[in-house]
Amino acid sequence: MARRKKIYEGKAKTLYEGPEPGTIVQYFKDDATAFNAEKKDVIEGKGVLNNLLSEYFMVGLGQVGVPTHFLKRLNMREQLVRSCEIVPLEVIVRNYAAGTMSKRLGIAEGTQLPRPIVEYCYKDDSLGDPLVTEEHIAAFGWASQQDMDDILSLALRVNDFLSGIMYGVGIKLIDFKIEIGRIYDGDFQRLVVADEISPDSCRLWDIKTEQKLDKDVFRRDLGSLTDAYSEVARRLGLMPNNPASITKPTLIN
Ligand code: 5GP
């Protein structure tokens, strides 16, 4: 069997050359990292859950007209995506204060923000993905003004979509991070939502109990990460409610 070409290995995913030109296979690993990889572990099943959840969100976004890089899920751990050039920014949308915003501005976690706030971080692990302004982005040529208008619009559309989906299953979307890819169609460039959307890159709290159902469970040692991610998948209808009932063989007469 021919060995496929590895293009990139990140903290949570490995990218391989896809079967057609312009495609990539995105493999979801079980590795979990936090605090710029200072904390590391292998969480069995995380990759499978993120693959399923990211597929669900990307397909849904496509259905409401938000372009993404997603083509199809290939198996439990892999999905086929369109190859794109990643804009070197992490685009963060916040509905409630948490994480670095709470630390930076001294706002209690869980405080509802007056409106969604979009932040940009420069994607560079060696610098710890620093927060940057649109001035930095323009001055250093990371994205044009037109790109920034499109990125803001994409980020807010993703926020509306994800907030609605989550609210429907009793979960508050506190914040999330997306990455944006450029796809070239002849002379034209399109911006699409790329990378993944999963509990690794969102903060998700149960509406009633405020129980955390995202990567903060790992970052802050709050219990089982797979239980938290499975709960999100279960509420979205991506997992059977009672796995035992379908794993049991049934005698057919
Ligand atoms: P914070 O800036 O509060 O650490 O993160 C804000 C949101 O963006 C959180 O939902 C967090 O999970 C996500 N986020 C920020 N940086 C990263 C990153 O490097 N990787 C991933 N997967 N998510 C991130």
Model pLDDT for residues 190-242, shown as the tens digit of each residue: 999 999 999 999 999 999 999 999 999 999 999 999 999 999 999 999 987 65
Angle at 183 between CA 146 and CA 149, to 5 degrees: 20
The pLDDT score that the predictor gives to residue 4 is: 87
pLDDT tops 70 at residue 249:
no
| Separation of alpha carbons 140 and 134, rounded Å | 10
- Mean per-residue pLDDT of the chain: 95
**Ligand 1 pocket test target in 40, 201, 212, 217 with most atoms within 8 Å of CB:** 201
Q: What is the whole-number distance in angstroms between the Cα of residue 245 and the centre of ligand 1? A: 37
C-beta 55 within 6 A of ligand 1: no
Q: Give 67's contacts (C-beta < 8 A, 6+ positions apart).
A: 154, 190, 191, 192, 193
Amino acid letter for position 75: N
C-beta 196 within 6 A of ligand 1: no
Q: What is the whole-number distance in angstroms between the Cα of residue 204 and the centre of ligand 1? A: 12
Question: In the numeric block, which tokens belong to residue 140?
Answer: 């250093």
The pLDDT score that the predictor gives to residue 240 is: 73
Nearest CA to ligand 1 atom 15: 177
pLDDT tops 70 at residue 166:
yes
State pLDDT tens for residues 67-95.
Answer: 999 999 999 999 999 999 999 999 999 99
The pLDDT score that the predictor gives to residue 219 is: 96
Its CATH class, for the domain covering 6-82, is alpha beta
State pLDDT tens for residues 150-164.
Answer: 999 999 999 999 999
Percent of the chain with pLDDT over 70: 94
pLDDT tops 80 at residue 253:
no
The pLDDT score that the predictor gives to residue 103 is: 98
Please give the distance of CA 248 from its chain centroid, rounded to a whole number. Answer: 33
State pLDDT tens for residues 3-46.
Answer: 789 999 999 999 999 999 999 999 999 999 999 889 999 999 99
The pLDDT score that the predictor gives to residue 36 is: 87
Nearest CA to ligand 1 atom 20: 201
Beta-carbon neighbour count of residue 111 at 10 Å? 12
Nearest CA to ligand 1 atom 11: 201
Q: Give 174's contacts (C-beta < 8 A, 6+ positions apart).
A: 94, 95, 96, 98, 110, 202, 203, 204, 205
pLDDT tops 60 at residue 246:
no
C-beta 84 within 6 A of ligand 1: no
The pLDDT score that the predictor gives to residue 49 is: 98
Q: Give 197's contacts (C-beta < 8 A, 6+ positions apart).
A: 53, 54, 57, 58, 61, 158, 162, 176, 178
| Separation of alpha carbons 17 and 5, rounded Å | 5
Rounded to two decimals, the pTM is 0.94
Termini Cα distance of the chain? 41
**Selecting from 3.40.190.10, 3.30.470.20, 3.30.1330.20, 3.20.20.120, what CATH number does the domain 85-224 have?**
3.30.470.20
Domains of the chain, residue spans: 6-82, 85-224
The pLDDT score that the predictor gives to residue 186 is: 87
The pLDDT score that the predictor gives to residue 29 is: 98
